[in-house]
Amino acid sequence: MKWRMGDVVVMTWPKCGTTWMQEIIWTMRNNPDLNNPLADMSITSRVPFIDMDMFMLAETLQNPNPDNPLLSDFLKVCPGANPADGVQLQLATVMPDPRTIKTHIPLSLLHPTILDNSKVVFVARNPRDVIVSLHHHYRIVKSLNFTGSMDNFVNYFVNDKLLYGPYWLHVQEAWAKRHHPNFHFIFYEDLKADIMTELNKLNKFLGLNLTKKQLCNVADYTSFNRMAARDKLLGPKTEDNPMFFKEIVRQDGGFFRKGTVCSWKEKLSPEMVNKIDQWTTKNLREIPFRYSL
């Protein structure tokens, strides 16, 4: 995919607050007065997730069913297009400027000119909460269907066996770029602690000059409760989404599970915390993660 001048790329490892940041940036750039009717469309059709095509089953692409939540907005935005040629890729191509793009691909695997023409916003989250959130995700998503224990899952994480490869490498590459003028590094925990301060920094980084009132609009519109209540943000609400296991969603929550900084306290044993912390000390010693607010 060709980057365009003015693109903003939301770059994260899964479960670090990607969807939140997608909605924050899209709203800041396209809907700061909360009057843009396009805001009702799913987040993926407003902020294409360029690596998602590789997860779509060949049968879904070859026999597109317009009721499939991943395809319905695509077919509206790209009428007559063939999903097998890449749903997200085609969405990104027709997307008018200013374009916001989501990726979990690390910096070193994207085109080396990305920071020449585009701005990257990177969100990192403390590894304990990432693991808990990702374990939940692997359990509710039918195509992932993880049935192992939390202990198993921690082992997969610390041995770098999960999708998208080593979290530490992803974060380390980003951290090394944190002073680049087109790169903005944010912690999920800082967004939770003081959203207005972080929105002000983003306002400056993106060169938007939004007013205080507009930034308040964004903060409110992208709060956990407001996002969780929006019907079409991720396609159908999680409870009704055919991509999720309904029973687990009912028991443990949907995509918008907790949205907090310390849910690891409820889910990880002291032994698991110890294992994760050893991994963090070995790989990400210099990153100032926070584990509570």
Instruction: Name which of residues 224 to 283 contact ligand A3P (CB under 6 A).
Output: 224, 227, 256-259, 263
Tell whether the torsion through CA atoms of 173, 14, 92 and 120 is positive or negative.
Answer: negative
CA distance 25 to 22: 5
What SS3 class is residue 173?
Answer: helix
Residue whose CB is less far from ligand A3P, 23 or 73:
23
Output 81 or 262, the one with its CB closest to ligand A3P: 262
Cα separation, 244 vs 4, in Å, equals: 34
Interface region with ligand A3P, contact rule CB under 6 A, candidates 29-37, 175-183, 218-226, 241-249: 218-226
Query: What's the closest the beta carbon of residue 5 comes to ligand A3P, in angstroms?
Result: 27
The single residue among 6, 14, 69, 165 that binds ligand A3P, judged by CB under 6 A, is 14
Binder to ligand A3P among 103, 118, 214, 222 (CB under 6 A)? 222
Contacts of 149 (CB under 8 A, 6+ apart): none
Shorter beta-carbon distance to ligand A3P: residue 64 or 189: 189
* Burial (0-12, 13-18, 19+ Cβ within 10 Å), 200: middle
- The type of residue at 79 is P
> Which range touches ligand A3P (CB under 6 A), out of 79-87, 206-214, 219-227, 243-251?
219-227
Nearer of residues 15 and 46 to ligand A3P, judged by Cβ:
15
- Establish if 133 lies at the interface with ligand A3P (CB under 6 A): yes
Instruction: Give me the residue label for tokens 């990607």.
Output: 18
Q: Does residue 136 touch ligand A3P according to CB under 6 A?
A: yes
Burial readout 185-196 (b: 16 or more C-beta within 10 A, e: otherwise)? bbbbbbbbeebe
Q: Site map for ligand A3P, 20-59, x if CB under 6 A?
A: x---------------------------------------
Q: How many CB atoms lie within 10 A of CB 32?
A: 20
Least distance from ligand A3P to the Cβ atom of residue 272, Å:
16
Q: Which amino acid, 89?
A: L
The site for ligand A3P (CB under 6 A) is made up of 12, 14-20, 129, 133, 136, 222-224, 227, 256-259, 263
